[in-house]
A and B are shown apart, each in its own frame.
Chain A
Amino acid sequence: MKTLVWVEHDGGAVKDATLAAVTAAAKLGEVHLLVAGQGVDGVAQAAASIAGVGKVHVADDAAYAHALAENVAPLAADLMGHHDAFVVPATTTGRNIAPRVAALIDVQQVSDILSVEGPDTFTRPIYAGNAIATVRTRDAKLVVTVRTTAFAKADAQGGTGTVEAVSSTGDKSLSSHVSSEMAENARPELTSAKIIVSGGRALGSGEKFAELIEPLADKLGAGIGASRAAVDAGYVPNDYQVGQTGKIVAPEVYVAVGISGAIQHLAGMKDSKVIVAINKDADAPIFQVADIGLVGDLFTLIPELTSKL
């Protein structure tokens, strides 16, 4: 089977999510990559050195500069004429593009796969991760998005892929990029952080969130996350949100501070290796999944913990 993996990049470097998708694709067959963007020679070279990669298809055009689905999907659909599977990391950009490609080639996509059970069979979470379904597709071609925390990252080095230019399918003039507003965050990126400290509504304010959570995260070298309640209350920007509708994370250690543990939140973090919960309510659902629990007032416990680390 020939797979085509869509490469997520920022114009300069290949994003880690792509490496997990490559691992999933390698379980299906020969791995080819698609690099679409503007001025992406460097990305293409980096993509070609990912271990196990064959051909790297490069489409360099202003139409692909912001990964607009309206322009990228026809390009991928064309390439699917001679590939059997389109494999995409389930990031916001990947989730935007893949279903459009699936519709263009008349395939029912399989979203957010956790494992590859066979050439046409996958497991995937449903109902916010409260059930795991094994599904088999009857379609002749595959379109799958990959839960990136469920697959190991392919080695970014050691590959000997060959770079091949493909012609642009052009600007479909349906959409244009106006602006981007990226949150400033010098800490480890949430989806790839080894340790995450996450705060909830119990922190009470954005100031308290910063005052308590940030020093603890700094001590641990951790990324910072938040529950939906903390985001909705405006304590932190919404790309901090961990959960079914936010980011799905699986770090080695997840420290949940003042988070009750609603179904929606658990869906985003319950595959963490070790879960530490600090909450004043001993009956909070978070303690049912926590490996280590500490019951008490976070306003005294967190400064004490930070000072003793």
Chain B
Amino acid sequence: MKLLVPVKRVLDYNVKPRVKADGSGVDLSNVKMSMNPFDEIAVEEAIRLREKSGGGEIVVVSIGEAKAQETLRTALAMGADRAILVVAEQKVEPLGVAKLLQAIVAEESPDLVILGKQAIDDDMGQTGQMLAGLLGWGQGTFASKVEVADGKVAVTREVDGGLETVSLTLPAIVTTDLRLNEPRYASLPNIMKAKAKPLANKTPADYGVDVAPRLETLKVVEPGKRQAGVVVANVDELVMKLQAMGIAK
């Protein structure tokens, strides 16, 4: 089967973001960037599905600055076959990304597109659902289990209160949740091999998609700081505090 996996380059999840003093955004100069953790899970799932189906191709796509090439090389080192980089001058919002992916899907005709459920920078959580809507395909979001059989994909979804399983007709869209799998590390030989794998450079104009932003960020501020608390010496003091707040008798 043919799989398409979009990946995003984001601030590494271990780095504490710093808000710029002028309120224009989060400072991304000289900080470690990595593949969005949910996208790593998506790449891993694609590799496992290909192993199970006994063949096929995995195409990874990234949309953003030229440096996103590094993120694509990481995906290639994990096991993807080839990459498409769409270099955009400015930040592309989920709707713009979904439209670009729609055009790429039209060219590539994958059986399944696997995305992360959200990017940990803008925390939007929209792209997969938007792409499914634009394509008129079924969507299996927040997946913790994916099984492909007989032209259908069964997706177990993490929902409030438990799990839900849906069956989708292929081609379809899946977005990954944390517990879907444990992504593999790229080995050094595979990192070397990934350098030779094909990577096509494109621009939004190549697909005729207007990616002008619809949202304007007026300001970005730090969240309100909590006041420093007190450390109590023992359980009795804690119980007294709780009683004073009226939550214990």
B19: chain A residues at CB < 8 Å are 130-131
> How far is the CB of A34 from the nearest CB of chain B, in Å?
17
Which residues does chain A contribute within 8 Å of B229, judged by CB atoms?
275, 287, 289-293
Contact A138 B215 (CB under 8 A): yes
B154 and A127 contact, CB distance less than 8 A: no
Check: B206 CB closer than 8 A to any chain A CB: no
- B106 at interface, CB cutoff 8 A: no
Would you give the 0/1 interface string for B103-128, flagging 1 where the beta carbon is closer than 8 Å to chain A? 00000000000000110111111111
CA distance A280 to B127 in the complex (A): 41
| A-contacting residues, B146-164, CB 8 Å | 154, 157-164
CA distance A95 to B118 in the complex (A): 11
Interface of A is mostly: mixed
- CB of A13 closer than 8 Å to a CB of B: no
Q: Which size class do A's interface residues fall under?
A: 35 or more
Query: Given A178-B165, A178-B166, A274-B245, A264 and B93 touching (CB < 8 A)?
Result: no
B219 engages A133 (CB within 8 Å): yes
Q: Which residues of chain B come closer than 8 Å to A99, judged between CB atoms?
A: 94, 125-130, 133
Give the distance in Å from the alpha carbon of A239 to the alpha carbon of B178 in the complex.
Answer: 12
Is A70's beta carbon under 8 Å from chain B? yes
Quote the shortest CB–CB distance from A308 to chain B (angstroms).
5
A175 partner residues in chain B, CB cutoff 8 A: 138-140, 166-169
Q: What residue in chain B is nearest A74 (Cβ atoms)?
A: B133
A157 at the binding interface (Cβ < 8 Å)? no
- Let me know if A308 and B130 touch, CB within 8 A: no
Q: Determine if A270 and B95 form an interchain contact, defined as CB atoms under 8 angstroms apart.
A: no
Among the stretches A19-27, A105-113, A159-167, the one at the interface with B is A105-113
In the complex, A238 has a CB within 8 A of chain B: yes
Closest to A110 in B: B215
CB of A244 within 8 A of chain B?
yes
A133-167 Cβ-contact flags toward B at 8 Å (1 or 0): 11111110000000000000000000000000000
Q: Is the CB of A130 within 8 A of B16?
A: yes
Count A-B contacts at CB 8 Å: 252
B178 with A228: CB separation less than 8 A = yes
Chain B CB within 8 A of A128 CB? yes
Q: Which 8 A-B pairs have the closest CB atoms?
A: A103-B133, A99-B129, A108-B214, A99-B126, A103-B130, A174-B138, A182-B162, A100-B133
Seen from chain A, the residues whose Cβ lies within 8 Å of a Cβ on chain B are 66, 68-70, 73, 91-93, 95-104, 106-112, 121, 124-139, 172-183, 185, 191, 195, 219-220, 228, 231-232, 237-239, 244-245, 247, 252-253, 263-264, 270, 274-276, 282, 287, 289-295, 301, 304-305, 308-309
Query: Mind listing 21 A-B residue pairs with CB under 8 Å?
Result: A92-B160, A98-B126, A99-B126, A112-B125, A124-B123, A126-B123, A127-B123, A130-B26, A131-B220, A132-B222, A133-B219, A175-B167, A175-B169, A176-B167, A178-B167, A179-B165, A228-B178, A232-B179, A238-B158, A289-B226, A291-B229
Report B's interface with A, CB cutoff 8 A.
11, 13, 16-17, 19, 26, 93-95, 98, 117-118, 120-134, 136-142, 144, 154, 157-169, 172, 177-179, 213-223, 226-227, 229-232, 234-236, 238-239, 241-242, 245, 247-249
Contacts A132-B221, A174-B136 aside, 18 further interface pairs with beta carbons under 8 A come to: A70-B138, A95-B125, A96-B142, A98-B126, A98-B129, A99-B125, A129-B223, A132-B223, A136-B215, A138-B215, A138-B216, A177-B165, A180-B164, A182-B162, A237-B162, A245-B177, A276-B238, A294-B234
